Amino acid sequence: MLGVLGFYAATRGSAVVPLLAGLGSSQAQSAITAAGLTVGSVNTTTSGATVENNNTVATQSISAGTVVDPGTTVDITVYYWVPTPPNFPPNFPTTTYYCKTTDENGVVSSEFTSSTDVSGVVCDDYRTVCQTTPGVPNPSAPPACPTNWYCRYMENTGDTFTYVATSNESYCTNGIAGVACSTSGYPAPSSGIYTCPPAPPSFTPVPPTFTPPTFTPPTFTPGNSCLGQPEPYPGECFCTGSGWIC
């Protein structure tokens, strides 16, 4: 049925723009054509789009019920819904560390939180302590310092000096120099610092030599006989299988 406006428009040679809102895109285009109008551009919008109204008409270029000339172009805009991508990577729970930095006297210089454990020890200097429970660690109980090794370097000439290391660096170089370390204090100078156990004797295998046998080819000294016959003209003949030929 055309309705009042449609009937009026039909009798006057005009067309009425139909209500397109909420119709699917193809349905709206069919309604425009059925009303004697021309389908114009079909645009999309993500504003206000949901999975429920996806691909339905959001707006039309000419309001519904408007009387226009037949063949008038009507543009429509349809909703285009874009799913929201999932979060990647997923949000894993994080640990909060409550940290405090103190100096060598235990005086607090800063307090802060961190997503990682930044506890560290620097003896005789500032240090940081962290824990996972709310609050901050007790500055009077910093972690223990690493063990100190007291080392003495000494050469066989008697030259020596001392230093502190964080690990045992004892070694010796036979008859030249050596280092001795202890956690209870510097070792006393001693020739034993650089006296190493005797090195095992070195052994270099000698491969056997091989002398190939020598071969002396037989020598041939031409004589003056041929098949037992003397050379008739010395120096002018040569021997063949049948005798001298001169």
What is the tens place of the pLDDT at every residue in 118-166?
776 555 566 777 788 776 555 444 445 567 788 898 887 888 888 888 7
According to the CATH classification, is domain 3-79 in 3.30.10.20? yes
Closest C-alpha to 140, from 127, 151, 153, 152: 127
The predicted-structure confidence for 65-92, as pLDDT tens digits, reads as follows 999 999 999 999 999 998 877 665 556 6
Residue range 174-214, pLDDT digits in tens: 777 888 888 888 888 876 776 666 656 666 777 778 777 77
pLDDT of residue 220: 42
Rounded percentage of the chain residues whose pLDDT exceeds 70: 72
Helix (H) or strand (E) segment spanning residue 225: strand 225-226
Residue type, 201: P
Dihedral through CA 186, CA 192, CA 193, CA 197, nearest 10?
-140
Parse the chain into domains and list their residue ranges. 3-79, 91-143, 149-193
**Residues of the chain above pLDDT 90, percent:** 27
Question: 3-state class of 24 per DSSP?
Answer: strand
Q: How many Cβ atoms are within 10 Å of 159's Cβ, its own excluded?
A: 9
Residue 43 pLDDT greater than 90, yes or no? yes
Q: Within 10 Å of residue 4's Cβ, how many Cβ atoms?
A: 9
- Do the beta carbons of residue 189 and residue 160 sit within 8 Å? yes
Which residue is it, tokens 């800063």?
110
For 155, how many CA atoms within 13 A lie in the half-sphere containing its CB? 4
SS3 at position 66: coil
CA distances (Å), origin 84, targets 17, 72, 77, 79, 207: 36, 38, 21, 15, 80
Q: Whole-structure pTM over 0.85, yes or no?
A: no
Work out the average pLDDT over 41-46: 94
Number of neighbours of residue 197 by Cβ within 10 angstroms: 7
pLDDT at 60: 95
> 87-106: string of b/e by CB count within 10 Å (b at 16+)?
eeeeeeeeeebbbbbbeeee
Which H/E stretch holds residue 26? Answer: helix 25-34
